[in-house]
């Protein structure tokens, strides 16, 4: 079956909904499809807690936000993209308020802002500690105003249809019926989020399996800066549930097993010693996660059934402050750890949180594949470089979701429909799913769950917080082996209705693609920069690696790495500092 749309959006979270609204506003005559493997309000944007950065205070400036972002990125961010992002972020946040987002306020009515990791000034807007929840509600409700936006909830896209370098549409499966459909489009926007599930311990929801990155990679768009994987320093052991940076912004402390605020012993890139005890917990996320590893190596971490941990201490804040500023933190700790942070210490450890890398795009969200765009965590513009600053990701999905939507709308308004060759590709994809997956014999010698778990532990061991050439080489070889073993995976469920086994097989295929680009990119980058730390190359090397890595899929399926210079505008490369 075939349906026709002008623009197809893959992903119904914050970036996808913002893009859909931008299309409807810019070109109300265009037909827009939002294809999401979950109901939009279950997209991972809903999980964001801490806030969204945007300059609003009289003591702040755009240049200061720009510099914090560039320095925090370890000078790998493209400065033209950062300048544009910082300028547009406050406008997007104000627009969101006009649509109904309930930003927290000061007693005098001004928008409340809080400090966040790596930011010198208080510029993080928040809605208590359920910021993503309120942002996503606002975007979803606003999208309902437009009759030209059509939703395909609980559909999974299996292929981008591309003919001669031009996008033609997508092929997708309806999860509730197993129906396979070709959706033709003049433009496609990927907004599927990140791929944290390639690691075993992550804050990411189960849906974040790198689907959009894999779709673009297989369609000919390179993946950029995939070696940069951000660990958040405070996840709950066992579950990986995030304890937001807002907990430390409100005054929380990180303590080792001796009750000592250990971060004062580490270089967080902060040049002046005076305020270190006050704000060291708000150092950049990569530095805090690396400090945790050293505490473990020195025997100063806490042993738990789920690995080493340290303590997050919020007791001195008191129940009143916690309930007013970070109530969700208290709720999560009580429900999932049976610990009340107002009276007890909370065990935490670093956990994979965010991908700085993603589909290579320009500042309009356009990829090298004509008519294909990307926005949000699935994309890499790049404004995050080697390390994303806390609270930059939510305004990023707004700014670049809107820009990608407007650019895709203008392109689609003048583009032609699908080609015969494109439609034949789509037919081939229909047959592949039926023949190779649904018709697969149930006696294969590999279990999908076993392969996924082995892949995750390979990634943690080979490309975790610290990497070496040996660990990465071993991971490359193991992942290559997994690609072959995947073809031997069995699918025992041949039913049509909510065939989750088929879905997990398709997700595993995407994760293996993405995992391979991470380890190949990390192996080639022989330096340490931001979240990419090589113990065999411990220094930053600007002569060789002040450049973006681009992972291309070759015709034989192998991963090839090329490099693209970083865009420098007004800020020459310097020492990475925090809190200047």
Catalytic positions are 232, 248
Residue 54 lies in a domain: no
Give the list of residues 6+ apart from residue 571 with CB closer than 8 angstroms, or none: 66, 67, 70, 79
Decide if 419 is inside a domain. Answer: no
Peptide bond into 287 cis (omega under 30): no
Domain contains 119 = no
Q: Which residues face 308 on adjacent strands?
A: 303
In a domain, 112, yes or no: no
Ranges under pLDDT 50 in the chain:
270-278, 579-580
Query: What pLDDT is stored for residue 271 in this prediction?
Result: 43
Would you state the pLDDT for residue 436?
Answer: 67
CATH code, domain with 234 = 3.90.700.10
- Which residues lie below 8 Å from residue 299, measured CB to CB, with a gap of 6+? none
444 part of a folded domain? no
Residue 161 tokens, joined:
């249809």
Rg (CA), the chain: 23
Q: How many domains does the chain have?
A: 1
For 325, the domain range is 230-353
Instruction: Please give the pLDDT value at position 283.
Output: 84
In a domain? residue 516? no
Looking at residue 467, what DSSP letter applies?
Answer: B
Give a yes or no: residue 259 inside a domain.
yes
The pLDDT of residue 579: 45
Q: Is residue 332 part of a domain?
A: yes
Which pLDDT belongs to residue 493? 86
Eight-class DSSP state of 315 = G
């Amino acid at each position: 079956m075939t349906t026709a749309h002008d623009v197809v959006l893959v992903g119904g979270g914050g970036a996808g909904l913002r893009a859909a609204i931008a299309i409807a506003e810019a070109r109300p005559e265009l037909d827009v499809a939002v294809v999401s493997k979950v109901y939009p309000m279950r997209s991972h944007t809903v999980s964001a807690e801490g806030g969204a950065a945007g300059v609003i205070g009289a003591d702040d400036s755009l240049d200061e936000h720009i510099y914090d972002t560039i320095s925090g990125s370890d000078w790998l961010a493209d400065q033209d993209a950062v300048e544009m992002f910082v300028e547009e972020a406050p406008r997007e946040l104000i627009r969101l308020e006009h649509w109904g987002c309930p930003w927290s306020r000061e007693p005098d009515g001004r928008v409340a802002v809080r400090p966040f990791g790596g930011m010198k000034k208080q510029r993080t807007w928040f809605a208590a500690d359920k910021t993503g929840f309120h942002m996503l509600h606002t975007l979803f409700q606003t999208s309902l105003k437009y009759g030209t936006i059509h939703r395909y909830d609980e559909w999974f896209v299996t292929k981008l249809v591309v003919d001669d370098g031009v996008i033609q549409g997508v092929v997708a499966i309806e999860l509730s019926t197993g129906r396979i459909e070709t959706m033709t489009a003049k433009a496609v926007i990927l907004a599927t989020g990140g791929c944290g599930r390639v690691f075993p311990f992550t804050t990411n929801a189960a849906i974040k399996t790198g689907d959009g990155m894999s779709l673009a990679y297989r369609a000919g768009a390179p993946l950029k800066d995939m070696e940069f994987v951000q660990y958040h320093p405070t996840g709950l052991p066992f579950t990986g549930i995030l304890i937001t940076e807002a907990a430390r912004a409100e005054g929380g402390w990180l303590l080792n097993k001796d009750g000592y605020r250990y971060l004062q012993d580490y270089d967080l890139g902060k040049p002046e010693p005076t305020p270190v005890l006050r704000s060291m917990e708000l150092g950049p996320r990569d530095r805090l996660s690396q400090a945790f590893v050293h505490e473990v190596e020195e025997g100063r971490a806490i042993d738990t059934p789920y690995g080493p941990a340290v303590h997050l201490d919020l007791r001195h804040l008191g129940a009143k402050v916690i309930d007013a500023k970070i109530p969700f933190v208290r709720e999560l700790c009580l429900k999932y750890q049976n610990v009340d942070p107002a009276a007890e210490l909370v065990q935490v450890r670093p956990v994979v949180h965010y991908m700085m890398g993603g589909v290579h795009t320009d500042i309009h969200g356009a990829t090298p594949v004509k008519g294909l765009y990307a926005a949000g965590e699935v994309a890499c513009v790049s404004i995050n470089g080697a390390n994303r600053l806390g609270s930059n990701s939510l305004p990023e999905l707004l700014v670049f979701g809107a820009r990608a939507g407007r650019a895709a709308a203008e392109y689609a308004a003048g583009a032609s429909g699908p080609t015969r060759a494109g439609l034949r590709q789509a037919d081939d994809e229909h047959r592949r799913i039926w023949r190779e997956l649904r018709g697969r014999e149930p006696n294969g010698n590999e279990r999908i769950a076993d392969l996924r778990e082995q892949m995750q532990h390979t990634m943690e061991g080979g490309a975790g917080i610290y990497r070496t050439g040996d660990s990465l080489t071993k991971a490359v070889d193991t992942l290559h082996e997994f690609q072959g073993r995947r073809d031997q995976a069995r699918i025992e469920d041949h039913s049509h209705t909510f065939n989750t086994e088929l879905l997990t097989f398709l997700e595993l295929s995407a994760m293996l693609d993405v995992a391979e680009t991470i380890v190949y990119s990390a192996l080639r980058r022989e330096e340490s920069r931001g979240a990419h730390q090589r113990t065999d190359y411990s220094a930053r090397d600007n002569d060789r690696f002040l450049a973006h890595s681009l992972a291309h899929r070759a015709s034989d399926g192998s991963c090839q790495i090329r490099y693209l210079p970083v865009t420098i505008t007004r800020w020459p490369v310097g020492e990475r500092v925090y809190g200047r």
